[in-house]
Amino acid sequence: MRPETIGCPDTPVPMSHASPVRLATAFAVVLALAACSTARVVICRASEDLVVADTLYFGTNKPGGVVSADEWQDFLATGVTPRFPQGITSWRASGQWRSASGALEHEASYVLQLVHADTADTERGLREVMALYRARFAQEAVLRVRLPACISLK
């Protein structure tokens, strides 16, 4: 049976020979590293519910032109609202991003924010919305930012 060791794997130090300071230091390092790898915990107040806030960024440049305001409204009505009938928020924005070819692209965009429960159905709906937009408007990508949030409607 091998004695328990601390230290780097290639230079183990038997614990029976480790000083209390060395043990405390090793323990502190382990705790610090563990803190870096653990998921962040979001604690909502008693009057709040924990949800997910997804923000999607849709570019408007497409072959032969740009996605018009009417096309965007149709996309929201036919592609988004049926999947998220509880409500959505969208607004126009402008931005830049680096395409797969390496070119810096400047373009108008639309931002869509969805606040929802974290369920398999909402995840599927989000992926469908993103895929539908990419296919309908010949887009290389749709950016998604997913954050935990606490909400209250009181």
Least trusted range by pLDDT, from 15-19, 48-52, 80-84: 15-19
What is the pTM for the complete model shown? 0.72
Judged by DSSP in three states, 76 sits in helix
The residue extents of the domains of the chain are 5-37, 49-151
pLDDT, tens digit (0-9, with 9 covering 90-100), for 37-77: 556 688 999 999 999 999 999 999 999 999 999 999 999 99
Report CA-CA distances (Å) from 77 to 35, 86, 103, 106, 107.
44, 13, 32, 27, 23
Q: Which class would CATH give 49-151?
A: alpha beta
